[in-house]
C-alpha cells in the first residue's frame, strides 16, 4: 500500500518520536487521569472492552447458576408428619417450607442473565469496543467525529451499568429482561430495584444512541481521501448499518421505558387495562426497539466475520457489494418484523402480516452466508484461532438462522413459542453468532490492540472447547423445546432430566473454554512475544500503523490506493512477499 | 473506484496544506437566508396557524348551526394537512434543508419513515385485534373498566409514589364521581349537625351534584361543548373580573358573583369552597372510607 | 485538539480580538481536515440527534394514535376542556421564537454580534413565556380541578372511563415537549453567554448557533403537531 505523506517521509517502523497510545505518560495517578479523561477513540475502545467483558462475566455467572439450578428437577415431598423436603433446588434458603422462595431466586437469576447480557454486554459489545477502536483506524481517520461525545457515551454506559448492578445488589428483579407489563409495574411494589433496572436500560440507551450517531457521522465525513463507499472494509459497512439502527430504534426504548417508569411510579395507565391502557401496547413499543436491536447485536459480528474470512483465507471477499448492501437490507428489514415476538398477543391480521415480513430477513442473511462460503472456495485457509471462530460462526449462525423459520411460521410458532426451542434459537444467533464473532475478532485484532501475540495453540484449544460446549449446551435445548419444555421454569418433569443434565455439562465446557481464553490473553499481556505491525497480512488500514497504534493513529495523512481485500494483487503492508506470496497472475483474476 | 453517495471523502478542494486549519477561509459558502425569506416564512406560518384554528372553530360552528355531524376524518385530515404544510415550511426555510446537503434531508426522511412504520402496524394491531376471532378482543376494547383497581397494595415505597386507589373494581371516573357525592353528603350532614350523612342527605347531595353537573359541565345542547362559564375558562374569568369593577347592570353583578364562586383566577381556594364542598381537598391516598358506602351508588348513571 | 485554557492570566480580555475564543481565532478539531468539514459533521450529527428526538416523540404520537382510534369519545371530552386560545397563543409564541432563532443564525453568519444577541434574548423570552402560559393557565388550572394523569385523576364530572388515560397522554406529550423547551433554552443561553462574553460566533464559526437553532426548531416542529392533535381535533 502506498501512502501519501504530506509532512515528512519516515521509513516504516522505528518511530520513537511518538509512542503508542498505551505508553503511560507520567506517574500512576496521572496515567489513571489520562485514561479517565481521554478523548482517544482507542483508549475509549479499550475501556469499553474491559467494561463489557466484566458485564459478560457477570451475566455468564448468572447463566452458569441458571444451568446449575436446572441440573436436576425440583421436587417437593411431604412425609407423614407433614414435614416438607425439597430436593434439587440449589438456591432455596435453608429450612425453606416451600419451593416458592427458591423459584423466585431462579426468576431473578434468569432475568439478571438476560438484562445484563442484552443491555450491558451484547448491544455495546462489538460496536463500542472493537468498533470504537477500529472504525477510525480502518477509515484512515485520526479519531471519531465527536471524540468528547464518545467519552460521554462511555461514562453514560458506566452510569447505566452501575444502576443495573445496584438493582442486583438490592435483590434483583424477576420481570424477565423484557420488562413486560404488568410484571414490571406490579412486582416488588415495595422496592426500588425494578426502578433501577429499568432506569439502567433507559440510561444505557443514551450511550447506544451517542455511539451510533458518532459512527454514522465518522463514516460519512472522515474517510481517508480516496476511500469511496465501496472501498470501505465490510466491517465498516456492518458498523454503519448497526449505527443507523441504533439511532433510529433506541429512542423508542427511551420513551417506552420512560412511560414504564411513570406507569410504575405514578400509575398513569397507558399500559394498564383498568384505566383503558393496553399491556400489549408495551410489547409493541418494546419490540419496535428490541427487534431491530437484535440486528444491532448480530450485524457487527457479521462484519467481523467478513474480515476474518477474507484475511485468513487470503481471498478477495466474494460478492463485496452483495454483503455490503445486505447489511443495509438487514437494517431496513429489521424495522418491519418486530411483531413476530408477539404472535400470541396480537390479532390474526397483524400476526399474518408480520409472519410474512419476517421471512424477508432470511434473504439478506442468506446472501451473506453464501458469499462467505464462496469466499472460502480455493482460499489458502489458515486454521488459526480467528479462522476457527469464523468457521464456528458459519456453522452455528446457520443453525440459529434456519431454526428461525419454524418460529416465524405462525402455525408452528404457536406450538414452539416460549419453549426451549426459542431459547436455543436465539442463543445460536446471539452467542453462536455475536459472541463467537466477537471472540474471533478479539483474537484477530488482539496483536494490534495490545501489541502482543497470543499463544495460538491455547487459542485453538479454547475455541474448540467453546464450540463443543456451546453445541452440547444448546443443541439439546432444541429437543427440549420441541418436546414441550417451557422456558423460564425452575423445575420440570422427569422426562427432561437427561437432556437438561447434558445441557448443564455443556455450560461447564463453555466456561472452561472461556477460562482458557482468559488466561491466554493474560499470559499474552504479561509474557507474550511482541506483535509485528501486520501479523496476518491484512490489507485494511489498521495494519498500516504500529502495533499498538501510535497516539494519533498514523504517521501520515492516509490515501487509499487499493481495496481492502485485494489479496491477489497487493503485498500487505509491513510484510514481504515470501511470507504472503501473491498468486500467479491469471486470466480473469481479480474482481 | 466507485463514486460515493456524498463526495466529502475526496480531498477537500478547500484543503490547503499551508493553512491546515482553514483560518483564512473567510466564507464557507453556506447559504445565508435572506431576511425577507425568514419573515415571509414566519408570516406564512402564522397564516396557516390562524387558518387551521379558523377551520376547526368553523367546523364546530357549522355542526352546531346546521345540526349535522361531520365525519371525524374531515377534521383530522384538515388539521393534519395544515400541520404538515407548516412543518415543511419550518424544515425547509427555518432549518435550511432547502439549501442544505441532501444527506440531512435523507436523515429526516428515514426518521419519518421509521416513525410511520412504528405507528401504522401498532395502530393496525390494536384496532383490528377482534376482526377475525373474538377471543383476541381482550380487555383493550373494554378498557377503563377499573377491574384491576380493587387490589390493596402492600405498604412500601411505591404506595406513596403511586396513588393506586382502591375503587372496588369500579371505573375510576365513577369512583371519583361517587367520592364527590359522598363529600357533599357529609358536608350537608355537618351543616345539619348530624354525625353521619343520612339517606336524605345522600339524595340531596346527589341532586346537588347532578344539578351542578348539568349547569356547568353539560351545557344547554347536552353536548360537551365549551361553555363560557366553564370552570377552567380562564378567559371568561378575566372578562368577568374586569366587568365587575365598573358593574352596574344586573347581569354583570351576577357574573361577578359567579366569578367569586367558581372561577377566580387569583384565589383558587375560593372556587374550591364553592358549590362543590370540599371537592378539591387533599385526599390521603389509600384512605378510602367509601368502600362500604357503595350500596346506593351507581343508580344515577 | 483545539483545547484552550480560557483561564490563563496572560490571555487578552474575553471578547477582544486576541482572545482564543473570538470567532476569528477558532480552529477546528485535529481529526478534521477543515473547519467546513467539521461544520458539516456537526450538522449531520445534530440532524441524527433530531431524528432520535422525533422517534422519542413517536412513542407519544403512537400512544395517541392508538388510543384516539380506540376511544374517540374520551378524546372528544378532553379536547373540549383544552382551550384552543391558549394553544393558539403558545403556537404563535413558538413560531415567533423560531423566527428569531433563524434570524440569530443569519446574524451570526453575517457577523452581526449585536443582532445575534438581541435575537437570542427574544427567543429566550418567548421560551419563558411559553412555559409560563403552559404552567399557569393550563397545567395548574387543570390540576386544581383534578384533571390529572392516571390515578391522580379526581375530576368528578368525567363522562368516559378512559378520560384519565387520555389526560396521561396529554401530560406525557406536553410535559416531554416542555422539557425539550427547557433544554433548548439552556442550549441557547449557553450560546448567548458565549456570544456576549467572547464574541465567539461569526461567519467562519457559528456551529453552536446553528445546531442549537436546529434543536429549537425541532421543539417548534413537535408543537406544530401537538397543537392540532390535542386542541383542534375533536
Is the predicted pLDDT of residue A14 greater than 50, yes or no?
no
State whether residue C71 sits within 8 Å of chain A by CB: yes
Confidence category of residue C170, pLDDT binned at 50, 70, 90: very high
| Segment among A421-435, A451-465, C30-44 with least mean pLDDT | C30-44
Radius of gyration of chain C from its Cα atoms, rounded to whole angstroms:
22
Residue predicted with more confidence, B280 or A432:
A432
Show the DSSP H helices in B168-249 as ranges: 172-192, 199-216, 234-245
Cell 395517541 sits at which residue?
A: C64
Q: What is the mean pLDDT of chain A?
A: 90
CA–CA separation, B246 vs C114, rounded Å? 46
Q: What is the mean pLDDT of residues C118-147?
A: 94
pLDDT at A172: 86
Q: What is the mean pLDDT of residues A536-563?
A: 89
- All three cell numbers of B101, joined, read 446537503
Contact residues, chain C, for B271 at CB < 8 Å: 144
Query: Looking at CA atoms only, how far is residue C91 from chain B in angstroms?
Result: 8
Residue B226: CB partners within 8 Å, gap ≥ 6?
B233, C80, C81, C83
Residue B94 CB-density burial (10 A; 0-12 exposed, 13-18 middle, 19+ buried): buried
A273, B145: Cβ pair inside 8 Å? Answer: yes
Q: Which of B14, B162, B171, B286 to mutate to test the interface with A (most CBs of A within 10 A)?
A: B162
DSSP per-residue codes, C98-147: HHHHHHHHHHHHTT-HHHHHHHHHHHHHHHHHHHHHIIIIIIHHHHHHT-
Nearest in space to A339 (alpha carbons), one of A297, A296, A283: A283
Q: For B121, which of A226, A229, A350 is closest by C-beta distance?
A: A350
Q: What is the mean pLDDT of residues A442-464?
A: 96
pLDDT at C79: 85
pLDDT at A138: 95
Residue A529 CB-density burial (10 A; 0-12 exposed, 13-18 middle, 19+ buried): exposed
pLDDT at C167: 94
Q: Give the count of Cβ contacts less than 8 A between chain A and C.
A: 125
Cβ-contact C57, C222 below 8 angstroms: yes
pLDDT at B235: 67
pLDDT at B90: 96
Nearest in space to A533 (alpha carbons), one of A15, A3, A167: A15
pLDDT at B21: 42
C156, B123: Cβ pair inside 8 Å? Answer: no
B159, A190: Cβ pair inside 8 Å? Answer: yes
B114, A284: Cβ pair inside 8 Å? Answer: no
- All three cell numbers of B3, joined, read 463514486
DSSP per-residue codes, A136-185: HHHHT-SS-S-HHHHHHHHHHHHHHHHHHHHHHHTT---STTTT-TTHHH
Q: Which of B125, B206, B232, B288 to mutate to test the interface with C (most CBs of C within 10 A)?
A: B232
Element (H, E) at B20: none
pLDDT per residue over C171-207, tens digit each?
999 999 999 999 999 999 999 999 999 999 999 899 9
Element (H, E) at A78: strand A75-78
Is the predicted pLDDT of residue A97 greater than 60, yes or no?
yes
CA–CA separation, A466 vs A548, rounded Å? 28
**C180, HSE (Cβ side, Cα atoms, 13 Å):** 25
Q: Which of A40, A142, A217, A252 to mutate to test the interface with C (most CBs of C within 10 A)?
A: A217
Domain ranges of chain A: 36-73+99-543
Q: Give the count of Cβ contacts less than 8 A between chain B and C.
A: 255
Nearest in space to A253 (alpha carbons), one of A299, A301, A212: A212
| Segment among A275-279, B269-273, C158-162 with least mean pLDDT | B269-273
CA–CA separation, A92 vs A104, rounded Å? 9
Chain A neighbours (≥3 Cβ pairs under 8 A) are: B, C
CA–CA separation, B178 vs B206, rounded Å? 9
pLDDT at B236: 63
pLDDT at B30: 76
What b/e sequence results for A362-389 when a residue is b if at least 16 CB atoms lie within 10 Å of its CB, and e otherwise?
eebbebbbebbeebbeebeebebbbbbb
Q: For B158, which of A189, A274, A348 is closest by C-beta distance?
A: A189
First-to-last CA distance in chain B?
76
Residue B154 CB-density burial (10 A; 0-12 exposed, 13-18 middle, 19+ buried): exposed
Q: For A221, which of C37, C58, C149 is closest by C-beta distance?
A: C37
pLDDT per residue over A498-543, tens digit each?
999 999 999 999 999 999 999 999 999 999 999 999 999 999 999 9
Is the predicted pLDDT of residue A6 greater than 60, yes or no?
no
Residue B77: CB partners within 8 Å, gap ≥ 6?
none
Residue A19 CB-density burial (10 A; 0-12 exposed, 13-18 middle, 19+ buried): middle
Q: What is the mean pLDDT of residues A436-452?
A: 96
Contact residues, chain B, for A228 at CB < 8 Å: 1-4, 9
ipTM: 0.92
3-state secondary structure A1-40: CCCCCCCCCCCCCCCCCCCECCCCCCCHHHHHHHHHCCCC
State whether residue C34 sits within 8 Å of chain A by CB: no
Q: For C164, which of A222, A247, A275 is closest by C-beta distance?
A: A275
Q: How many other C-beta atoms can be found within 10 angstroms of the C-beta atom of residue B43?
A: 12
CA–CA separation, A294 vs A301, rounded Å? 11
Domain ranges of chain B: 35-128, 157-296
Residue B288: CB partners within 8 Å, gap ≥ 6?
B165, B166
CA–CA separation, C39 vs C20, rounded Å? 18
Contact residues, chain C, for B83 at CB < 8 Å: 224-225, 227-228
Is the predicted pLDDT of residue A337 greater than 90, yes or no?
yes
CA–CA separation, A418 vs A341, rounded Å? 10
**Kind of pairing, strands A84-87 and A75-78?**
antiparallel
- Residue of chain C whose alpha carbon sits nearest to that of A278: C67
CA–CA separation, B55 vs A413, rounded Å? 50
Nearest in space to A60 (alpha carbons), one of A443, A401, A435: A435
State whether residue B160 sits within 8 Å of chain C by CB: no
Q: What is the mean pLDDT of residues A421-443?
A: 96
Q: Could you tell me which residues are beta bridge partners of residue A87?
A: A75
pLDDT at A38: 93
Q: Which of C168, C177, C208 to mutate to test the interface with A (most CBs of A within 10 A)?
A: C168
Please give the share of chain A, as a percent, with pLDDT higher than 90: 72
pTM: 0.87
Residue B208: CB partners within 8 Å, gap ≥ 6?
B184, B275
Peptide bond into A20 cis (omega under 30): no
Q: How many other C-beta atoms can be found within 10 angstroms of the C-beta atom of residue B218?
A: 16
A217, C44: Cβ pair inside 8 Å? Answer: yes
One digit per residue, the tens of pLDDT, for chain B of length 301 reads: 344 344 444 444 444 444 444 444 444 467 888 999 999 999 999 999 999 999 998 888 888 888 888 888 888 999 999 999 999 999 999 999 998 899 999 999 999 999 999 999 998 888 787 777 666 555 445 577 777 676 555 544 444 445 567 777 788 888 888 889 999 899 889 888 877 778 888 888 888 888 777 766 655 444 444 554 555 666 666 655 544 444 444 444 444 444 444 443 333 332 222 223 333 334 433 333 343 343 333 333 3
Q: The domain A36-73+99-543: what is its CATH number?
A: 1.20.210.10
CA–CA separation, C5 vs C20, rounded Å? 9
Q: Could you tell me which residues are beta bridge partners of residue A77?
A: A85
Cβ-contact C152, A266 below 8 angstroms: yes
B32, C77: Cβ pair inside 8 Å? Answer: no
- All three cell numbers of A414, joined, read 404457536
- All three cell numbers of B129, joined, read 385485534
pLDDT at B33: 87
Q: How far is CA A192 from CA A64, A169, B160, in A?
A: 26, 11, 13
Query: Looking at CA atoms only, how far is residue A230 from chain B in angstroms?
Result: 6
Cβ-contact A337, A404 below 8 angstroms: no
- Residue of chain B whose alpha carbon sits nearest to that of C100: B38
| Segment among A28-37, B2-11, B232-241, C14-23 with least mean pLDDT | B2-11
Contact residues, chain B, for A328 at CB < 8 Å: none
- Residue ranges of domains in chain C, CATH in brackets: 39-232 (1.20.120.80)
DSSP per-residue codes, A107-132: HHHHHHHHHIIIIIIIHHIIIIIIIH
Nearest in space to A464 (alpha carbons), one of A379, A568, A384, A400: A384
pLDDT per residue over A347-363, tens digit each?
888 899 999 999 999 99
Confidence category of residue A495, pLDDT binned at 50, 70, 90: very high
Amino acid at each position: 500500500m502506498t501512502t501519501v505523506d504530506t509532512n515528512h517521509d519516515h521509513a516504516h517502523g522505528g518511530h520513537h518520536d511518538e509512542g503508542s497510545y498505551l505508553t503511560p505518560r507520567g506517574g500512576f495517578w496521572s496515567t489513571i487521569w489520562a485514561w479517565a479523561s481521554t478523548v482517544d477513540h482507542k483508549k475509549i475502545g479499550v475501556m469499553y472492552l474491559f467494561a463489557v467483558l466484566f458485564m459478560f462475566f457477570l451475566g455468564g455467572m448468572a447463566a452458569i447458576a441458571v444451568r446449575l439450578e436446572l441440573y436436576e428437577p425440583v421436587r417437593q415431598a411431604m412425609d407423614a408428619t407433614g414435614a416438607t423436603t425439597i430436593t434439587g433446588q440449589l438456591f432455596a434458603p435453608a429450612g425453606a417450607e416451600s419451593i416458592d422462595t427458591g423459584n423466585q431466586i431462579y426468576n431473578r437469576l434468569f432475568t439478571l442473565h438476560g438484562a445484563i447480557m442484552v443491555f450491558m454486554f451484547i448491544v455495546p459489545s462489538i460496536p463500542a469496543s472493537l468498533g470504537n477502536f477500529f472504525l477510525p483506524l480502518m477509515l484512515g481517520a485520526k479519531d471519531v467525529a465527536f471524540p468528547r461525545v464518545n467519552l460521554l457515551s462511555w461514562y453514560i454506559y458506566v452510569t447505566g451499568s452501575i444502576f443495573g448492578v445496584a438493582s442486583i445488589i438490592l435483590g434483583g428483579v424477576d420481570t424477565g429482561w423484557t420488562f413486560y407489563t404488568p410484571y414490571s409495574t406490579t412486582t416488588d411494589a415495595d422496592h426500588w430495584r425494578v426502578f433501577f433496572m429499568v432506569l439502567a436500560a433507559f440510561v444505557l440507551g443514551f450511550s447506544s444512541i451517542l455511539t451510533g450517531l458518532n459512527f454514522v457521522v465518522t463514516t460519512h465525513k472522515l474517510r481517508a481521501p480516496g476511500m469511496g463507499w465501496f472501498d470501505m472494509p465490510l466491517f465498516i459497512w456492518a458498523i454503519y448499518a448497526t449505527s443507523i439502527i441504533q439511532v433510529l430504534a433506541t429512542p423508542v426504548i427511551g420513551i417506552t421505558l420512560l412511560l414504564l417508569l411513570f406507569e410504575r411510579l405514578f400509575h398513569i395507565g397507558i399500559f394498564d387495562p383498568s384505566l383503558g391502557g393496553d399491556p400489549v401496547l408495551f410489547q409493541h413499543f418494546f419490540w419496535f426497539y428490541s427487534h431491530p436491536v437484535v440486528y444491532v447485536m448480530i450485524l457487527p459480528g457479521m462484519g467481523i466475520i467478513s474480515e476474518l474470512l477474507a484475511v485468513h483465507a487470503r481471498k478477495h471477499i466474494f460478492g463485496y457489494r452483495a454483503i455490503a448492501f445486505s447489511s443495509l437490507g438487514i437494517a431496513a428489514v429489521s424495522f418491519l418484523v418486530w411483531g413476530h415476538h408477539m404472535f400470541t398477543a396480537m390479532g390474526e391480521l397483524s400476526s399474518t402480516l408480520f409472519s410474512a415480513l419476517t421471512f424477508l430477513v432470511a434473504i439478506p442473511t442468506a446472501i451473506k452466508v453464501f458469499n462467505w462460503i464462496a469466499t472460502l472456495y480455493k482460499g489458502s485457509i489458515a486454521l488459526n484461532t480467528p479462522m476457527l471462530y469464523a468457521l464456528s460462526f458459519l456453522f452455528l449462525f446457520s443453525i440459529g438462522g434456519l431454526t428461525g423459520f419454524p418460529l416465524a411460521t405462525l402455525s408452528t410458532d404457536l406450538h414452539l413459542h416460549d419453549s426451549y426451542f426459542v431459547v436455543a434459537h436465539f442463543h445460536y444467533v446471539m452467542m453462536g453468532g455475536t459472541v463467537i464473532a466477537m471472540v474471533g475478532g478479539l483474537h484477530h485484532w488482539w496483536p494490534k490492540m495490545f501489541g502482543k501475540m497470543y499463544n495460538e495453540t491455547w487459542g485453538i484449544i479454547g475455541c474448540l472447547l467453546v464450540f463443543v460446549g456451546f453445541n452440547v449446551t444448546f443443541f439439546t435445548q432444541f429437543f427440549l423445546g420441541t418436546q414441550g419444555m417451557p422456558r423460564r421454569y425452575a423445575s420440570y418433569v422427569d422426562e427432561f432430566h437427561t437432556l437438561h443434565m447434558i445441557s448443564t455439562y455443556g455450560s461447564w465446557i463453555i466456561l472452561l473454554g472461556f477460562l482458557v481464553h482468559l488466561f491466554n490473553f493474560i499470559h499474552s499481556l504479561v509474557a507474550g512475544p511482541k506483535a509485528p505491525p501486520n501479523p496476518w497480512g491484512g490489507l485494511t488500514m489498521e495494519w498500516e500503523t504500529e502495533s499498538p497504534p501510535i497516539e494519533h493513529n498514523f504517521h501520515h495523512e492516509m490515501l487509499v490506493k487499493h481495496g481492502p481485500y485485494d489479496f491477489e494483487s497487493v503485498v500487505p503492508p509491513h510484510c514481504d512477499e515470501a511470507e504472503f506470496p501473491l498468486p500467479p497472475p491469471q486470466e480473469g483474476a481479480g474482481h | 473506484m466507485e463514486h460515493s453517495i456524498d463526495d466529502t471523502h475526496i480531498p477537500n478542494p478547500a484543503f490547503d496544506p499551508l493553512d491546515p486549519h482553514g483560518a483564512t477561509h473567510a466564507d464557507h459558502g453556506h447559504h445565508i437566508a435572506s431576511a425577507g425569506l425568514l419573515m415571509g416564512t414566519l408570516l406564512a406560518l402564522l397564516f396557516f396557524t390562524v387558518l387551521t384554528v379558523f377551520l376547526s372553530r368553523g367546523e364546530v360552528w357549522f355542526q352546531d348551526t346546521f345540526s349535522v355531524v361531520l365525519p371525524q376524518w374531515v377534521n383530522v385530515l384538515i388539521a393534519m394537512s395544515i400541520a404538515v404544510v407548516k412543518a415543511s415550511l419550518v424544515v425547509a426555510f427555518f432549518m435550511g434543508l432547502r439549501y442544505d446537503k441532501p444527506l440531512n434531508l435523507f436523515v429526516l426522511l428515514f426518521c419519518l419513515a421509521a416513525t410511520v412504520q412504528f405507528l401504522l402496524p401498532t395502530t393496525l394491531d390494536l384496532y383490528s385485534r377482534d376482526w377475525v376471532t373474538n377471543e383476541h378482543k381482550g380487555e383493550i376494547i373494554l378498557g377503563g373498566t377499573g377491574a384491576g383497581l380493587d387490589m390493596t397494595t402492600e405498604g412500601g415505597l411505591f404506595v406513596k409514589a403511586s396513588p393506586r386507589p382502591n375503587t372496588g373494581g369500579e371505573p375510576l371516573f365513577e369512583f371519583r364521581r361517587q367520592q364527590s357525592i359522598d363529600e357533599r353528603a357529609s358536608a350537608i350532614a355537618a351543616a345539619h349537625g348530624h354525625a353521619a350523612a343520612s339517606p336524605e342527605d345522600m339524595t340531596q347531595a346527589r341532586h346537588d351534584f347532578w344539578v351542578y353537573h348539568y349547569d356547568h359541565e353539560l351545557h344547554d345542547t347536552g353536548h360537551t361543548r365549551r361553555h363560557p362559564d366553564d370552570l377552567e375558562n380562564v378567559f371568561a374569568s378575566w372578562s368577568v373580573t374586569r366587568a365587575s369593577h365598573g358593574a352596574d347592570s344586573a347581569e354583570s353583578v351576577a357574573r361577578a358573583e359567579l366569578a367569586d364562586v367558581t372561577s377566580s383566577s387569583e384565589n383558587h381556594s375560593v372556587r374550591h369552597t364553592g358549590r362543590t364542598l370540599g371537592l378539591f381537598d387533599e385526599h390521603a391516598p389509600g384512605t378510602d372510607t367509601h368502600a362500604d358506602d357503595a350500596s346506593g351508588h351507581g343508580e344515577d348513571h | 485538539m483545539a483545547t484552550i485554557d480560557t483561564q490563563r492570566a496572560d490571555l487578552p480580555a474575553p471578547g477582544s480580538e486576541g482572545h482564543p475564543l473570538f470567532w476569528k481565532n477558532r480552529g477546528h478539531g485535529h481529526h478534521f481536515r477543515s473547519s467546513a468539514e467539521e461544520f458539516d459533521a456537526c450538522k449531520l450529527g445534530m440532524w441524527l440527534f433530531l431524528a432520535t428526538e422525533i422517534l422519542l416523540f413517536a412513542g407519544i404520537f403512537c400512544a395517541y394514535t392508538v388510543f384516539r382510534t380506540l376511544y374517540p369519545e374520551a378524546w372528544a371530552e378532553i379536547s373540549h376542556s383544552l382551550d384552543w386560545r391558549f394553544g393558539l397563543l403558545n403556537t404563535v409564541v413558538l413560531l415567533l421564537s423560531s423566527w428569531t432563532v433563524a434570524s440569530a443564525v443569519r446574524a451570526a453568519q453575517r457577523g452581526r454580534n449585536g443582532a445575534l444577541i438581541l435575537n437570542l434574548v427574544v427567543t429566550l423570552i418567548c421560551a419563558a413565556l411559553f412555559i409560563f402560559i403552559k404552567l399557569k393557565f393550563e397545567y395548574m388550572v387543570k390540576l386544581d380541578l383534578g384533571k390529572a394523569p392516571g390515578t391522580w385523576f379526581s375530576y368528578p364530572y368525567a363522562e368516559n372511563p378512559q378520560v384519565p388515560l387520555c389526560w396521561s397522554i396529554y401530560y406525557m406529550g406536553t410535559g416531554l415537549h416542555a422539557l425539550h423547551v427547557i433544554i433548548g433554552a439552556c442550549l441557547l443561553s449557553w450560546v448567548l453567554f458565549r456570544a456576549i462574553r467572547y464574541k465567539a460566533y461569526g461567519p467562519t464559526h457559528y456551529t453552536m448557533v446553528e445546531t442549537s437553532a436546529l434543536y429549537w426548531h425541532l421543539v417548534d416542529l413537535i408543537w406544530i403537531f401537538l397543537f392540532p392533535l390535542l386542541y383542534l381535533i375533536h
